[in-house]
Chain A
Amino acid sequence: MVSPEMQKLAEERAARMKAANELKEPDRVPFSGLGGDIIAAYAGISSYEYNFDFEKNRQAIIKWNTDFPADSPQGGVGGLDNLSLSVAFVDFPDLANSIFMLNGPMNDVLDMKFARFPGRQLDEYSSPQFIGGKNMEPEEYDELIADPQKFAYEKILPRISNNLQDMSSPKALATMARLGMVKAQQAAELMKTGQALAELGFPSGGGFGFGFAPLDYIGDHLRDLPNVVLDIRKYPDKVKAATRSILEVLFKLAMQNQHADTIMFPLHLNEYLSPKLYNEFYWPTLKEFILRLAENGKKSSLFCEGWHDPHLETFLELPAGWGRAMFEKTDVRKAKKILQGHTVIQGGIDVGVVISGTPAKIDEYMKALLGDMMPGGGYICGPNVGNLPRETPIENVAAVYEAIEKYGKY
Chain B
Amino acid sequence: MREQLLKSFVDMDEQEAVKIARELVETDGGAVAVLDTCKEAMEEVGRLFEAGEYFLSELIAAGDMFNQIMEFTLPKLQGEEVASLGTMVLGTVQGDVHNIGKDIFKVMAEASGINVIDIGIDVPHEKFVEAIKEHKPELVGMCCLITLGVDSMKRTIEVIKEAGLRDDIKIIIGGGRVSQAVMEHVGADAWADDAARGVRLSKELLGKE
Enumerate chain A interface residues (CB-CB to B < 8 A).
36-37, 116, 122-123, 125-127, 129, 131-132, 225-226, 229-230, 232-233, 271-274, 277, 306, 310, 328-329, 350-353, 355-357, 385, 387-391
CB distance from A135 to the nearest CB of B (A): 15
Question: Given that A351-B147, A353-B181, A355-B185 are contacting pairs, would A272 and B64 also be in contact in the complex, using a CB cutoff of 8 Å?
Answer: no
Contacts of B179 in A (CB 8 A): 350, 352
Residue of A nearest to B154 (CB): A391
Alpha-carbon distance between A387 and B58 when the two chains are bound, in angstroms: 30
Within the complex, which residue of A131, A230, A306, A389 is in contact with B60, where a contact is CB–CB below 8 Å? A230
* Residue from A225, A232, A387, A390 within 8 A of B151 (CB atoms): A390
Question: Which 8 pairs, one residue from A and one from B, show the smallest C-beta to C-beta distance?
Answer: A356-B185, A272-B56, A274-B55, A391-B151, A352-B179, A126-B95, A229-B60, A389-B147
Chain A residue numbers with a CB within 8 Å of B96 are: 129
Q: Are B100 and A226 in contact (CB under 8 A)?
A: yes
Cβ of B150 under 8 Å from chain A:
yes
Chain B: interface residue total (CB-CB under 8 A): 35
Q: List 23 A-B contacts (CB under 8 A).
A: A36-B147, A116-B97, A126-B148, A127-B95, A127-B146, A127-B148, A129-B96, A129-B146, A131-B97, A226-B103, A229-B60, A272-B60, A274-B57, A277-B55, A277-B57, A328-B176, A351-B177, A352-B150, A352-B177, A355-B181, A356-B182, A357-B181, A390-B151
Known: A233-B12, A352-B177. A226 touches B150 (CB 8 A): no
Q: Which of B156-192 contact A (CB under 8 A)?
A: 176-179, 181-182, 184-185
Q: Do residues A230 and B64 form an inter-chain contact, with CB atoms below 8 A? A: yes
A350→B60 CA distance, assembly (Å) = 27
Q: Is the CB of A37 within 8 A of B148?
A: yes
Find the A residue at minimum CB distance from B152: A389
Residues of A contacting B148 in the complex (Cβ-Cβ under 8 angstroms): 37, 126-127, 387, 389-390
- CB-nearest residue of chain A to B186: A356
Q: A127-B147, A277-B57 are in contact. List 19 more A-B contacts (CB 8 A).
A: A123-B95, A126-B148, A127-B95, A127-B148, A129-B97, A131-B97, A131-B98, A131-B99, A225-B100, A233-B14, A233-B61, A272-B57, A306-B176, A329-B193, A350-B179, A355-B182, A355-B185, A385-B177, A387-B147
Shortest Cβ distance from B194 into chain A, in angstroms? 9
Least CB distance from A294 to B in Å reads: 29
In the complex, what distance in Å separates the CA atom of A230 from the CA atom of B56? 11
Q: Which of B95, B176, B182, B193 has the most CB of A within 10 A?
A: B95
B54 within 8 A of A: yes
Query: Is there a chain A Cβ closer than 8 Å to B104's Cβ?
Result: yes
Closest Cβ of chain B: how far from A378's Cβ, in Å?
Answer: 27
With both chains docked as a complex, state the minimum distance between the C-beta of B56 and any C-beta of chain A, in angstroms.
4
Residues on A with C-beta less than 8 A from B55 are 272-274, 277, 310
In the bound complex, CA of A16 to CA of B178 (Å): 32
Query: A37 vs B150: C-alpha distance in the bound complex, in angstroms?
Result: 13
Question: Would you call B146 and A352 a contact (CB within 8 A)?
Answer: no
Q: Which residue of A lies closest to B94 (CB)?
A: A123
Bound form: Cα–Cα A225–B177 in Å: 19
Nearest CB on A from B54, distance (A) = 7
Contact: B151 with A389, CB < 8 Å?
yes
Known: A355-B150, A387-B147. A226 touches B177 (CB 8 A): no
How distant is B84 from chain A, measured CB to nearest CB, in Å? 26
Q: Chain B contacts of A351 at CB under 8 A?
A: 147, 177
